[in-house]
Structure 1
Amino acid sequence: MQHETIGAPTLASNRESRPQPILHDVKQVSDGWIKKYELTYAMPDGSLYSYESVSRKNAETYRRELERAGSGEQQADAICIVGRTPDNELVLIREFRYPLNSWCIAFPAGLIEAGEDLEDCLERELREETGYGFHLIDGKPKFHALPQAGYSSTGLSEESVQVVFAFVEKQRDPEPEPSEFIEVFTLPIADAARFLEENETPIGTRCQLILESFARDARDALQRC
């Protein structure tokens, strides 16, 4: 039997060739820092379907964001920083997360402020949460962002997070908010696999997958020796 290899379809062809729900209405049903919405979609058969979601954005901005995402445009809401030191260690945090009522392992992260570019946000969040800053190479910061932001929880919210890899070094004491409880620690990249096996503290999925990627690279390097 022959198997045909099919390349990944473009975003445009996905939208043009696949029937999909069409956004009909956005209704805010509760207020606060996190807002709850009822989204109404027109289904391919003409019926209406309601779905509950949450967002930090007000109704007008949220609807605009949904329409932007539906057209293929994207704008990151937050940043996740995978900091690597000159000693080949990763900078991680243990942070008390109120929705979990528990400490959680993660990479430093935070919301991108209005008008803030990626480099400024990266530097600010590093400073506030960890006390680290850029490790300059040839007098310049060195960092690399993934090609597109990823969504945090597609069944619940439209929040998107831009993952950035950066070379960093300790520069000062952290500057957390009074409500933030954060412990900073470093993890040798060579110990990533062992850490994942032995860790018993809740861990964010994004952090878990990035650490697994480092662990796999380390295992592959050993096999090549």
Structure 2
Amino acid sequence: MDSDGLTEKTIDTQEIFKGRVVHLFLDNVQLPNGAKATREVVKHPGAVAVIAVNPEGKLLLVRQYRYPLDKIIYEIPAGKLEPGEDPEKAAVRELEEETGYSCAKMERIISFYTTPGFSDELIHLYYTDSLISGQQHLDEDEFLEASAFDLKEAVQMVQSMQIADLKSMYAVQFMQLRAKG
């Protein structure tokens, strides 16, 4: 048994798929009790997301179709990190690309793993309320609409699952806590 009684040791790794966004591996591991198991692991470059609030106090959301869900949902502006990219610079880039807004300042809130049971994706979450109007610069394979919603509308959107992803639900909760002071 290992010294902490929890850590699994990698025996071997097999690359299954390498895509533009994810890299899938099948790992054979030795469990703390000596037994063997298989782990499916998705490697991800990491991502950023932005809680962006306009001068009227409304939360910016982007409406887009998500193929794995086969539905349209609302999310806070977000995107994946490029190799070696600084997360704060990526947050500024994604905010401008998806909403058309730049900002005077960006504040780091927290970083969190999205699905640690099978992926190493780490999202860095930022906040800004110093928006400067500009123009969207969507990627050629990106189709989305940006809109602003007050907190009451955003809470209702979570309850109706129009906002259904964790980072965006976290953003709404963050805004609720901030409103309470």
Q: What is the TM-score with the length of structure 1 in the denominator?
A: 0.69
CA contact (8 A) 1:192 1:214 kept: no
Which of 26, 43, 58 in structure 2 is aligned with 1:55? 43
Structure 1, residues 171-211: CA drift from partner, whole Å, max 9, x if none? 222111222111101112354334434x4535212211321
Shift of 1:18: 4.0
How is 1:1-225 mapped onto 2 (pairs within 5 angstroms)? 17-33=4-20, 34-56=22-44, 77-134=46-103, 136=104, 141=105, 143-147=106-110, 149-197=111-159, 199-201=160-162, 203-218=164-179, 220=180
SS of match in other structure, 2:169: helix
More strand by share: 2
Seen in structure 2, the aligned counterparts of structure 1 residues 190 and 108 have a Cα distance that, compared at 3 Å, is same
Partners in 1 of 2:75 and 2:129 — Cα distance? 17
Matched to 1:177, the amino acid is: D
Seen in structure 2, the aligned counterparts of structure 1 residues 98 and 170 have a Cα distance that, compared at 3 Å, is farther
CA contact (8 A) 1:102 1:202 kept: no
Partners in 2 of 1:47 and 1:97 — Cα distance? 39
Shift of 1:170: 4.5
Matched to 2:55, the amino acid is: P
Structure 1, 48-57 or 122-131: larger mean CA deviation:
48-57
Structure 1, 114-123 or 91-100: larger mean CA deviation:
114-123
CA contact (8 A) 1:96 1:102 kept: yes
Seen in structure 2, the aligned counterparts of structure 1 residues 94 and 168 have a Cα distance that, compared at 3 Å, is farther
CA contact (8 A) 2:157 2:163 kept: no
Identity %: 22
Matched to 1:27, the amino acid is: Q
CA contact (8 A) 1:190 1:215 kept: no
Matched to 2:165, the amino acid is: G
Runs of 4 or more consecutive aligned structure 1 residues displaced over 6 Å after TM superposition:
none
Q: What is the TM-score with the length of structure 2 in the denominator?
A: 0.84
In structure 2, runs of 5+ residues without a counterpart are none
Seen in structure 2, the aligned counterparts of structure 1 residues 158 and 200 have a Cα distance that, compared at 3 Å, is closer
Structure with greater Cα Rg: 1
Q: Once superposed, what is the RMSD of the aligned Cα atoms?
A: 2.4
CA contact (8 A) 1:191 1:215 kept: no
CA contact (8 A) 1:23 1:39 kept: yes
> Larger relative CO (CA 8 A, sep 6+): 1 or 2?
2
